[in-house]
Structure formats: structure tokens, C-alpha cells
Structure 1
Amino acid sequence: MRIAFVGKGGSGKTTLSALFSRHLARSGAPVLAIDGDINQHLAEALGHDGDPLDAPPLGAHLRDIKEYLRGTNPRIPSADAMIKTTPPGRGSRLLTLLGDDELHARHVRRVGDVPLMVTGEFDESDLGVACYHSKLGGVELYLGHLVDGPGEYVVVDMTAGADAFASGLFTRFDMTFLVAEPTRKGVSVYRQYRDHAREFGIRVAVIGNKVTGEDDLLFLKEEVGDDLLTHLVHSSWVRAAEQGREQGELEYQNLHALNVLRETVDALPKDWATTHGHAVEFHLRNARAWADDRTGGDLAAQIDPDFVPGPPALA
């Protein structure tokens, strides 16, 4: 299952992404964490310390990723003709989670119990030239060509706020958890996400974070209603871990919340047809809006009408 953590900057979505990834990994489940935020802090949240993580960023190797994933697909003559929304077709090279392939070998690094991929930072050479979402193309292509199986998890720490809607990446997830603090600003992003997600049938559940008492919980219930799935209380354990002095065990209430998240994800049906349908729709949108002119081709022709998404495609 593919899980996105979104929310206002400072809401704790990176912390929750790390906690949930570690929770899954320590249970023995296959999990891959991806840092898709402009502020690349997921490695630190997972416990990395010292020199910068030596994981080659996806955003810096986008052309190589395209070249690898297009495989022998006759509808994609070159990497230059491929864009981040190009869906797989017959001949495309599909991926299994943490499979024995060059993409995982090059980009995955382990932080404690958790394998991690990163999109890369927004650096000085990008200023005034590119938007951060161009770096997320590697994540979009990766998820578009991934055939994940039962009991496997991809956890993505997404960009803050409603910026996640700047590309079709938001449709590539089986579940989106929106992290909200019990404040008016904390729930403002929820309203934006709720309205956009409903248009495409995207599953969104709210996780209250940094809850200190009944008043906070009541506020969240009044603001988000039935979309409030669970909540985490203010955590001394998390604060200690952020200060580099992790000790003891996560609070019982917060461990329970992580279990609720997993139970919710595990209860969801995998809908390959809808996911692939969203990929095709956003590819056509991008083709019409800019990509046909940019590449000089008709990118609608990249869509393979006879491609069957999901496990059958691996055969």
C-alpha cells in the first residue's frame, strides 16, 4: 500500500512519517520511506546522525530513471519523450518493492530499520529556474511503475500545505493521512485537501497531532468531523528523540494511534484500475497543457490501451 503524509508545515507530518515507517519496519513488514518534502528531514527523523546521508537523490537522476523504466516499451522511443506522468505499458520495466534492480540499488539507503529514498534538496541552481515539483517526478514515476504486494508499504513524506496538488502525484496513493494540529491554521489545509480529494475519490483521513487535552480533541472533532481517524498526544519521547537522546518506549496512546493507522491501511482494498485511471488522466492533462509542445510529440500515444495494471503485468 502507498501512504502519503501531508499537512501544514510544522504539523508534524515528517515526524509521523518516520514513526509510522519505524513502526512498520519493527513489525517485520517490508517498508520503504520516501522523503518527498522540500525540507529534507526524514532521514534525521528516522534517526540518522552525523554526515549527510549518501543516498543519490531521485531528482538528480530523473533521466536515468526514465531510461530504465521505459524498458522496451515501443510507445516511448526515448527518455526525452518520457515525462513524469507517462504511465507504464507493455514493455515497460516494472518494479517490485525493494526488488533486486538497479533503481533500488542506486537510490535506497537504510536508516536504522527503514530503507529510505530521497528526492533531493532545492538548491541554489534551482532558484528562479525550476519548481520543487520537478524533483518529485522521480517519485511519481517510481510509484507509477511499482507493483506492490499485500503487506508491503511505501510511506511518503509529502510537501507541506496544498502544494501536493501541483502534480498528479497526490492520486498515486492508496491512503492519505493529513496531520493536523488542534488550531485553526492546523485544520485549514484539511479543508483544501478534502475538497480536492473528493473530486478524484482520494481517501483522506485526519490524524490529530500534539493534542494536550479534551479541549484540543473536541476542537478537532468539531472542525473535521468523521474524517478524524485518531490522534497523538504531545510526546516527550518524540521531543527527546529530536534532541538526540531517544530512550524508553513511545507513549501508549501514541503507539495505539500508530496501530490504528496500520489497521486502517490494511483494511483497504487495492484498486489498481482506479490508480491507473488517474495516472492516464493526469498524463493527458499534462500532455495537452505543456508536454506535447515541449517534446514535439503526441504524448497521448504513450498510453497503452491493452495494458493491465497490477500483478498481472509482472507476468
Structure 2
Amino acid sequence: MKAAFVGKGGSGKTTLAALFCRFLAVQDAPRVLAFDADINQHLAVALGADPDEAALLPALGDHLEEVKEYLRGDNPRIPSAAAMLKTTPPGPGSRIVGVAEANPLYEKLVRAIGGVRLAVTGPFAADDLGVACYHSKVGAVELLLNHMADGPGEYAVVDMTAGADSFASGLFTRFDCTFLVCEPTVRSVGVYRQYVGYARDHGVRIVVVGNKVDDAEDVDFLRGEVGDDLLCWFGRSGFVKAAERGRHLPIGELEPANAHALAELKAALDTSTKNWIRYAEQAAEFHTRNAHAWGNDRAGADLTAQIAPGFTLAPATAAAR
């Protein structure tokens, strides 16, 4: 399954994404792959890395051309890596990656942090300021998810950019379930409404996770604002406070109520419906949009020809390939 954590900046989405990844990794670490796709690159530290260690992690955004070249494989519809957009979907001849496999990209760009395998997009660099969009770095994550056939019991978890920034690309459609972290505040609920307004038109499954909940009044507020979208909530946590001060405790020491909420997240994700056909159709839709908006002009060619009609990442297709 593929999952995203989204929400208002400061809502605690990175903290909950880290807790969820650690919770999954205790059960089967090799089958969990986390991505930090937030402009504020904090997931590694939330997983237990020292800030200096986190700053030295290899960045997907710095190796975008290598990612493209590897995924392109010998797909005859794609003449070169330079012709690929961040939205380019896979087709016959493309390299399809798994979650738990060993491959050259993972060996170079994935590191184990706090027992969780992690890849980071990387922060803005001085050379990027004023001339580049952060979503060009996130393009490596979108390409990998487009080409990822996750199997049973495998989890790819992405900490996304805050608020509506997630909609600057088709990345928001690449998930089986999106966990929207919501504080019991008017501003946080406003981000929920904005996100749902965009996402629901594309069949994106949204589950609301309350955070920083102090009492029943906070729960009532959230339930009154988001209704049945509210799945569970996390209370104030000494475990989290210790981590924020640099003391990372074993995940088994998380407060029972908060640990139960993590189990509810996993159950919601595990019961999500896998729809490989819709997944391929959405990839084709956003690739077509990008091709028509700017890609065709840049390449001097019709990049919608990269779309292989009828191609999906369904297990039967992957097995045959």
C-alpha cells in the first residue's frame, strides 16, 4: 500500500508520519519505505537521525536524471531520460521497482534511519532560489511511485508538502489512502476543507487524523467539522515531547492510546481498495496535462506518445513481465 501524510504546516504530520513508519517497521522493516517530500526536510530527524547526519543524506532531487534513466529501461516510447517528465508513466520495457527489493537507486539513495528505510528529496539549495520550483525535486518521488508495484504487506509512506502545495503535481493521486492530520482549530479545519475540495474530484481517499487533542471537547469539535472523515486522534504525548528534545524512545513505549491510533491507521490503509486501472488512468491524465501545458513545447515532440494504452502495474502484468 502507498500512503501520504498531509495537513497544515505545524499540524504534526511529519511527527505522525515518523511514528507510523516506526510502527510498521517493528513488524517488518524491509517492507517499509519512507519518503520525505516536504520542503521542510524534518522526517529523518523525526525518525531519530542527528541533524548533522540528516544533512548528509543523499537527495533524490540531486539525482533526478539517474532516476529517470534507470526507470526508463528500454521502453521504446521514451527515447532518452531527457524526454521524461516527472509524470511519465511506465510502459512495456520500463523498470518497475518494488518496495523491498535491492536495486541501484535504493543502494545509492535510501538509508536506514531509526530502523526505517528512508529517501529524501533534499532541501532547497542556494542555486535553486529564485530560479527553481521545489516540485522539480519532488518529481523524483512521483516518478518512483509511478513505477512502483507494491506487493502485499509492503508500505510506501510519503511525508508531503504542507497544505495545498501537494496539488502542484499529480503526486497527490499516487496513494491508496491519504492521512490528513488536523488539529482542533479553525485554521487546520480550513486546510482540510481545501484539500478535500481538490482531492475528492479525483477519487482520492481522505482519512482525517486528529492531533494535539487534549479532551473530549477537542474531539467533538473535530467530529463536528469533518464528520465521518475523522478516523482517530492523538493526544498530547510525552513520548513525542522527548523525541522533540532529542531523546528517541523505543516505539513500544508510546502511550497506549496513541499506539492504538497507529493501529487504526494501519487497519484503514490495509483495507483500502487497490485499483491499478485507476492508478494508470490518473498517471496518464496528469502526464497529458503536463505535456500540453509545457512539456511538448520544451521537448519539441508530443510527449503523450509516452503513454502505453492499457498498461497497468497490476500483479498479473508484473508477473508476466
- Bin of the TM-score, shorter chain as denominator length: over 0.9
Which residue pairs with 2:5 in the alignment?
5
Compute the displacement of 1:304 (Å).
Answer: 0.8
Aligned partner of residue 28 in structure 2, secondary structure: coil
Provide the rounded CA distance (Å) in 1 between the counterparts of 2:27 and 2:53: 27
Match 1:112 to one of 111, 114, 123: 114
Q: Which amino acid aligns with 1:57?
A: A
Which residue pairs with 1:138 in the alignment?
140
What per-residue deviation string (whole Å, max 9, x for no partner) do you get for residues 59-98 of structure 1?
A: 1111111111100000000011111001000000110113
Which residue pairs with 2:164 in the alignment?
162
In percent, how many aligned pairs have the same letter? 59
Contiguous gaps of at least 5 residues in structure 2: none
What per-residue deviation string (whole Å, max 9, x for no partner) do you get for residues 169-204 of structure 1?
A: 000011000001100011111001111111101000
Provide the rounded CA distance (Å) in 1 between the counterparts of 2:243 and 2:312: 45
Asked if 1 retains the 8 angstrom alpha-carbon contact of 2:58 and 2:120, the reply is yes
Mapping 1:293-312, distance limit 5 Å: 293-312=297-316
Compute the displacement of 1:33 (Å).
Answer: 0.7
Are 2:223 and 1:225 aligned?
no
Provide the rounded CA distance (Å) in 2 between the counterparts of 1:308 and 1:32: 22
Compute the displacement of 1:308 (Å).
Answer: 3.3
Mapping 1:237-252, distance limit 5 Å: 237-247=239-249, 249-252=253-256
Tell me which moved more, 69-78 or 46-55: 46-55
Asked if 2 retains the 8 angstrom alpha-carbon contact of 1:179 and 1:208, the reply is yes
Provide the rounded CA distance (Å) in 1 between the counterparts of 2:97 and 2:248: 35
Distance 1:68 1:60, change over 3 A: same
Which residue pairs with 1:49 in the alignment?
50
What per-residue deviation string (whole Å, max 9, x for no partner) do you get for residues 252-305 of structure 1?
A: 110010000001111112111111110000000111111000111101111111
Asked if 2 retains the 8 angstrom alpha-carbon contact of 1:176 and 1:205, the reply is yes
Compute the displacement of 1:306 (Å).
Answer: 4.2
Which residue pairs with 1:197 in the alignment?
199
Provide the rounded CA distance (Å) in 2 between the counterparts of 1:50 and 1:226: 38
TM-score by length of 2: 0.96
Q: Which amino acid aligns with 1:213?
A: D
Q: Which amino acid aligns with 2:166?
A: A
Provide the rounded CA distance (Å) in 1 between the counterparts of 2:238 and 2:155: 27
Aligned residues: CA RMSD: 1.1
Asked if 2 retains the 8 angstrom alpha-carbon contact of 1:57 and 1:107, the reply is yes
Match 2:85 to one of 83, 86, 96: 83
Provide the rounded CA distance (Å) in 1 between the counterparts of 2:256 and 2:159: 24
TM-score by length of 1: 0.98
Match 1:260 to one of 247, 257, 264: 264
Tell me which moved more, 242-251 or 132-141: 242-251
Compute the displacement of 1:55 (Å).
Answer: 2.8
Provide the rounded CA distance (Å) in 2 between the counterparts of 1:55 and 1:259: 30
Q: Which amino acid aligns with 1:297?
A: A
Mapping 1:209-224, distance limit 5 Å: 209-224=211-226
Are 2:104 and 1:102 aligned?
yes
Which residue pairs with 1:38 in the alignment?
39
Are 2:187 and 1:185 aligned?
yes
Provide the rounded CA distance (Å) in 1 between the counterparts of 2:313 and 2:156: 18
Compute the displacement of 1:247 (Å).
Answer: 4.2
Aligned residues: 315
Compute the displacement of 1:51 (Å).
Answer: 2.7
Which residue pairs with 1:291 in the alignment?
295
Are 2:24 and 1:24 aligned?
yes
Asked if 2 retains the 8 angstrom alpha-carbon contact of 1:98 and 1:104, the reply is no
Distance 1:263 1:70, change over 3 A: same
Which residue pairs with 1:127 in the alignment?
129
Asked if 1 retains the 8 angstrom alpha-carbon contact of 2:100 and 2:154, the reply is no
Higher helix share: 2
Provide the rounded CA distance (Å) in 2 between the counterparts of 1:11 and 1:185: 10
What per-residue deviation string (whole Å, max 9, x for no partner) do you get for residues 100-147 of structure 1?
A: 210111110001210000000012111110111110000000000011
Q: Which amino acid aligns with 1:302?
A: Q
Provide the rounded CA distance (Å) in 2 between the counterparts of 1:259 and 1:309: 28
Distance 1:143 1:247, change over 3 A: closer
Compute the displacement of 1:50 (Å).
Answer: 5.3
Q: Which amino acid aligns with 1:18?
A: A
